[in-house]
């Protein structure tokens, strides 16, 4: 009896330990497999491209929260805290983040030195459009809105793909596949709209701020805007008068309205020149439920409609 009990105890202990070990191993395995790569990006457009390329493997957070205007942004300590758990930080470049970038990266310099955090400039290798606006030291500034160009967006997607592979080589095949799918979709958009815009009656459009310089260049169009590319100040009365006269003289039928850039001014202008006010997205704040391709296609569609 005593012996049987001992065997029972031993057996129970053995089974429990086995069961315990089995479960623990399985859970550990699932965590390792299911763990997403923590990526921090500067703002919505870079998030949208990173999510398209990263797919299920990435967990993406913004420094500049959705709904905040990115041109004159100053991050808080809370915004920057996201960098502490990140393996990869991706910013646009072309001066968009320059007012806060160096200072912010200095808060995680030890992580960067130890190669625990990789920092990537998405626009690296692109040719910038130079703006009329000058920096404080008198040098000319690049137009940051490269993500609204199809070629520019493809280049950013490729840089982001390479960065993801560098930091997370185990999922290389998926990143390559996602990037190729995105590129195919973008190539198709480019082809479709190049043909459409070539046959458009007019080639000019009016928007909230001059964010569409690259897009206009790609398709041989001309943008006019209420505010300049860098939103460096409120539009002057003189500028608004010129724009109103331009719209009347050229029979502009659509004024594009951006959520974050003086939407009231654009709507008033539309009223005054008897034009339709139509929403457009600069991807600086992406509407819920839309991804990168969906927004690009929406914009191209609306611009095309306005030209015919
Ligand atoms: Zn902008």
Q: What is the CATH number of the domain that holds 162?
A: 3.40.50.1980
Cα(287)–Cα(234) distance, rounded to whole angstroms?
Answer: 25
| 282 C-alpha to ligand 1 centroid (Å) | 7
- Domain extent for 102: 34-189
Q: What are phi and psi of 212, to 5 degrees?
A: -105, 25
Averaged pLDDT, 83-87: 96
Span from the CA of 102 to the centroid of ligand 1 (angstroms): 21
Interval between CA 150 and ligand 1 midpoint (Å): 16
Q: Are residues 45 and 165 in the same domain?
A: yes
Q: Is residue 224 part of a domain?
A: yes
Q: What is the pLDDT of residues 253-271, one digit of tens each?
A: 999 999 888 899 999 999 9
> At 140, phi and psi to the nearest 5?
-75, 150
255 shares a domain with 175? no
Reduced to 3 states (helix: H, G, I; strand: E, B; else coil), residue 253 is coil
Q: Which of 189, 219, 242 is the last residue of a domain?
A: 189
**Ligand 1 centroid – CA 260 distance (Å):** 9
Q: What does the pLDDT look like over 156-208, one tens digit per residue? A: 999 999 999 999 999 999 999 999 999 999 999 999 999 999 999 999 999 99
Residue 271 lies in a domain: yes
**In this predicted structure, which of 75-79, 149-153, 228-232, 280-284 has the lowest mean pLDDT?**
228-232
Q: How far is the CA of 65 from the centre of ligand 1 (A)?
A: 15
- For residues 169 and 211, membership in a common domain is answered with no
Largest CA distance in the chain: 107
Question: Do 140 and 271 belong together in one domain?
Answer: no
For residue 24, CA distances in Å to 13, 31, 35 come to 16, 11, 16
What is the whole-number distance in angstroms between the Cα of residue 136 and the centre of ligand 1? Answer: 19
> Distance from the CA of 15 to the center of ligand 1, in angstroms?
63
CA of 71 to the centre of ligand 1 (A): 6
Q: Are 125 and 209 in the same domain?
A: no
Q: How far is the CA of 145 from the centre of ligand 1 (A)?
A: 6
Question: How many angstroms separate the alpha carbon of residue 138 from the centre of ligand 1?
Answer: 21
**301 and 226 part of one domain:** yes
Regarding whether 70 and 175 lie in a shared domain, the answer is: yes
Q: Considering only 23-37, 57-71, 212-226, which range has the smallest mean pLDDT?
A: 23-37
Same domain for 285 and 142 = no
Instruction: Calculate how far, in angstroms, residue 169's C-alpha sits from the geometric centre of ligand 1.
Output: 33
Rounded to the nearest angstrom, the distance between the alpha carbon of 49 and the centre of ligand 1 is 17
250 and 141 together in one domain: no
- Domains: count for the chain: 2
């Amino acid at each position: 009896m005593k012996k049987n009990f001992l065997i029972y105890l031993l057996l129970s202990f053995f089974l429990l330990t086995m069961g315990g070990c089995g479960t623990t191993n399985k859970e550990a395995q699932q965590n390792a497999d299911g763990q997403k790569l923590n990526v921090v990006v500067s703002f919505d457009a870079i998030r949208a491209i990173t999510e398209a390329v990263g797919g299920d493997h990435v967990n993406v957070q913004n420094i500049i929260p959705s709904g905040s205007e990115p041109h004159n942004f100053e991050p808080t300590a809370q915004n920057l805290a996201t960098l502490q758990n990140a393996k990869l930080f991706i910013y646009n470049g072309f001066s968009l983040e320059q007012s806060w970038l160096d200072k912010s990266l200095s808060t995680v310099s030890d992580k960067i030195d130890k190669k625990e955090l990789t920092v990537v400039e998405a626009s690296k290798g692109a040719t910038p459009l130079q703006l009329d606006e000058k920096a404080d030291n008198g040098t000319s500034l690049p137009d940051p809105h490269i993500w609204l160009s199809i070629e520019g967006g493809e280049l950013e997607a490729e840089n982001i793909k390479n960065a993801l592979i560098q930091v997370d080589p185990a999922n290389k095949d998926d990143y390559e596949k996602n990037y190729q799918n995105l590129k195919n979709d973008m190539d198709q958009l480019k082809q479709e709209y190049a043909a459409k815009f070539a046959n458009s009656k007019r080639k000019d459009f009016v928007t909230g701020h001059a964010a569409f310089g690259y897009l206009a260049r790609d398709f041989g169009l001309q943008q006019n805007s209420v505010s300049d590319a860098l939103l460096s100040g409120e539009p002057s009365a003189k500028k608004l008068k010129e724009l109103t006269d331009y719209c009347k003289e050229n029979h502009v039928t659509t004024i594009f309205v951006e959520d974050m850039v003086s939407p009231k001014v654009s709507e008033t202008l539309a009223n005054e020149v008897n034009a339709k006010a139509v929403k457009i997205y600069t991807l600086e704040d992406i509407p819920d439920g839309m991804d990168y391709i969906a927004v690009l296609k929406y914009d191209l569609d609306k611009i095309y409609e306005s030209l015919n």
